[in-house]
Structure formats: structure tokens, C-alpha cells
Amino acid sequence: MAHQGNRVDELKFSCSICLDLLKDPVIIPCGHNYCMKCIKDTWGEEDQEKTHSCPQCRRSFTPRPELLKNTMLAELVEELKKTGLQAAPADLCYAGAEDVACDDCTGRKLRAAKSCLQCVASYCEQHLQHHFESAALKKHKLVEPSKKLQENICSRHDEVMKIFCRTDQKCICIVCSMDDHKGHDTVSAATERAEKQKQLAQSRQNVQQRIQDREKDVKELQQEVESTNRSADEAVEHSEKIFTQLIRLVETRRSDVKQRIRSQQELDVSLAKECQEKLNQEITELKKKDAELEKFSLTEDHTQFLHSYPSLSTLTESTISPRPNIDRLQAFKDVTAALTAVRDLMQLVLREKLRLRAEFLQYSRQITLDPKTAHSCLVFSEENRKAKVDDENTLYLRHPDRFTPYPQVLSKEGLTGRCYWEVEMKKSESVRVAVAYKSVDRSGTLGYNKKSWALRCHGSYIFYHDSQGTSISGPVSSRIGVFLDHSAGISVLLQRLIRHHETPPQSPDHIH
């Protein structure tokens, strides 16, 4: 409280020009006091015909008033000095490089306490007093100190821009509204600010919802990491038990399989943690954005608000996919199932079936379905990556590439070289996963000709090529992995190698 009292004394007995305690105080007719030297330097030469004004209240005097020493005030200042008040108060807040300086201060400027939108100027606490004392100035709009006040002034007409043109989406002055913007849809800056404030509130809600969604994704990813670790440990345990039964035959392969499982575990955990880190980073950025929007929403300057709104209100779309479309646990389940059958198919299993998903992922391709080839009962979603049967769908026009008798569709991308992709389905559905040449007959069933190979999945697995079916054993799964080596004529379904000895034609007839 003592400090606050000293501060008040400093303001009362300081010269508003030099900001120090009054020296040889003089009083002018309006009642304000100044240092004798300060007011003389401000008014300049003694020209009786020239109009002189008070630096604080702006009251004008003609002729120049006589400067009379304020004896009582001088004695009070001397008494205050004796009680410890310094001539240059140490706690006065001078403006730094990053601060808004008072426009009325001369010499070393004080930090501005408020900015006036009507005066288009900023004032320290002392020079702000005339806004509280003058009846006319009391109506002015005072806001937090701003360095951007000049942006509120029309560069053409030197008028304050209090109007917003919705036609051109910019702030204008009253002259502009009657000139270049005549006939445009215009409203007051305050009205437009109120509308944008509502939109800003919605943007904040979107940011906050995104934060909640991402925090939920982080939690789910953490659960997946824990589940991946548990499943990996179980897979290693089961592998050890099975290898014990086959120790003489598979001793040289056991450490290799263990290493592959751990590699898959490391890959899955690494991918999940990398995604988790990105999500945490996005959450941090979103919180920062939310804080920025909150601060921005409190801006009192309507014009400045509207100037900055377009760049601050836009929320960019997230590019992070929290969980790749891969069942992280399936790889370990496949290893366990494969090892159970190793006693019957030792060489085949050890050579081919234990190939883990990580080996195929390096050839991963994103498949997009081509509506031009789709049977008319198929409908698509998720950017043409998901299809389902809808018998009432009649939206497709006739097209020479369209399948006609059966609900089938080809990929939009031609597949050459080595490619890997995965197909998700419901376990109860009957689905054919196939690869085919682009020139395959559109009136036939995939797998029933020489230009297509198909795996029928419906509780069990049957592989078809050229109308010949071969039953394939394996656990029922909702996900089928497909590996294609076009040049070698090799296709892998359910991680079982099916070698096709038909040499692909030397033509641009790509696999789909």
C-alpha cells in the first residue's frame, strides 16, 4: 500500500512533459502545472499573437499567458523530497523496444496505458488523464495499447475505418463507402466483429473437440501398444513350446523366427509411438492455437480484429492418421497358426509361410476402386476405398469397362512390379479377393478364366484360377493380405505362396 501511495504522489507532483518531479513549478490558466523550463521549451518564443495550448487538456490561450510560480506546490515538492521521494522515480515504466510508447511524452517515453481509437494515439497514465477530465474525450474508445493503430486509418482519405465492406471483405472509411464502395453490402465494423466473433467461438469449439479426439486417439494407441507387447510375448511363448517338440528339425530356424517376431513387434510399437508423438505435438499446437484464439477473441479493436481474422480463424485439416489400417496382432496370430502346422508342412512353412507382414509392407500400395468398372449394385465410400452391395443402386451409366453379371470391381491403379495391399471384410461375408489383367472378360467371374486369380473367403478358403478350385487351410480372418510380384508371376494370399508359372505377357496389360 505504501508503494501504491508513493506512486500516486509521483504522478501528482511530476511534470507531464519531462516526467520528473516538478522543478520551479508554474501554473497556467487551465490549472495544470509544469516545470518552468519544460513549458517554456514547449511553447517556444514569447510571441503574444501566437496561440499556445496546454499539453494535457489542449486548452488554447491567446495571447500567451504569464507563467506564475506555484509557490505552494514548490514547497510541497521540496517536503516530499525530504521524505524520500526521488526526483526521478525508479519505478516509472519506460517503454522498451517491444512496448507501445506514449505519443505525448517528450524525451524518454513512458509505456502506454491505453490507445484511443478516435485520436489514433497511445497515452501513458499521465497523458491519459485528459481523456477522463474532458467531457468530449470521455466518449472516445480506449483499448489496450496497440502498435497497429495506423492500420485503422484509410490511406486514401486519412479517415478512421469504422465500416466493413462485405462485398470486398475489407475495412473502409465513411468516404470509401460513398465512393469506390457505393452500393456494396456494408455494415459497421462492430456489427461484422460480432458476427465474426460467433464464428471464432465455433472455431474454438472445433479446436477443443479436435484436442479431445486426439487425446482419445493417444489413449487408444497406448492401449494398442500394450496389447501388441502382450501378444508379441504370447507369440514368443507359443513359438518356444512348439519348437521344443521339433527341436531337432528346427533348431537352426528357431532364433530366426524369434527375431522376426521381435522385429515385427519393434516395427509396430515404433510406428505407434511415432504416431503418438505426432498426436501429442498436434495437441500441443492445438492448445497453443486455442490460447491464441482466446486471446484474439478478447481484442477490443474491431478493425484490428477483422484485419487479423482471416489468418487466425482458419483451422487446417489434420494429416495424421492415428491408426494405420493394419491389425497389429494378426502377424503374431499368423505365426502361431503357421507353427501349429509346421509338423506336417515343415519345409513349406519354414521357407515361406513364416514371412511376416513387415517384409511385405515395404511394397505397400494404396488401392483405389474404379467406379467405371464397378457392377451397378456396388456403392463406394472413404474416397473409393470401401465398397458394399446395394441392390437399389442405379446411379451408374453404361460403360464398356463395367462388370455386368456379378458384383465385381477393379482397382483404378495398374499394378506392376512388387505390390502389397490388404483387404478388410466381415467374417460372415462371402468375398472374392482377386488379381486380374485389365483385359479380363467383364461378363465372367474372377478366377474362372486365365486372366484372373481369386481367393474365395466364406468360412473357408478356395483358390480359383481358370475355373479350377483348390482348398486352402487357414484360420478365418477379417483381413486378407495380398502380395503380387508381377514380373515373377507370384501372388501371395493369406501369406501362403501360390506360384503361377504362366509368364505375364510383354504388354501394358497391367494387373488390377
Same domain, 386 and 291: no
DSSP code at position 54? -
Same domain, 346 and 365: no
**Three-class SS of 474-489:** CCCCCEEEEEEECCCC
Average pLDDT, the chain: 80
- Residue 3 is which amino acid? H
pLDDT for 186-212, tens place per residue? 999 889 989 999 999 999 999 999 999
Percentage of the chain with pLDDT > 90?
Answer: 16
User: Rounded to 5 degrees, what angle do the CA atoms 376, 377, 381 make?
Assistant: 100
pLDDT at 498: 32
Domain that includes residue 284, residue range: 192-313
Same domain, 394 and 303: no
Percentage of the chain with pLDDT > 70?
Answer: 83
Of 79-83, 121-125, 502-506, give the lowest mean pLDDT range: 502-506
Same domain, 295 and 230: yes
Same domain, 300 and 207: yes
pLDDT for 291-327, tens place per residue? 888 888 888 888 888 888 887 767 777 766 655 545 6
Greater model confidence, 8 or 184: 184
Greater model confidence, 497 or 208: 208
Same domain, 227 and 308: yes
Q: What phi and psi values does residue 152 have, to the nearest 5 degrees? A: -85, -5
Handedness of CA 231, 236, 239, 241 (dihedral sign): negative
pLDDT at 9: 54
Element at 190 (helix H, strand E): helix 189-245
Average pLDDT for 393-412: 85
- Residue 133 confidence (pLDDT) above 70: yes
pLDDT for 35-47, tens place per residue? 888 888 888 777 6
Same domain, 345 and 425: no
Domain contains 128: no
pLDDT at 170: 92
pLDDT at 497: 33
Average pLDDT for 165-188: 92
**pLDDT class for 185, splitting at 50, 70, 90?**
very high
Beta strands in 351-467 (DSSP E): 378-381, 386-389, 418-424, 431-436, 452-457, 461-465
Greater model confidence, 348 or 317: 317
Same domain, 343 and 460: no
**Domains contained in the chain, number:** 4
Parallel, antiparallel or unpaired: strands 60-61 and 52-53? antiparallel
Of 192-201, 390-399, 459-468, give the lowest mean pLDDT range: 390-399
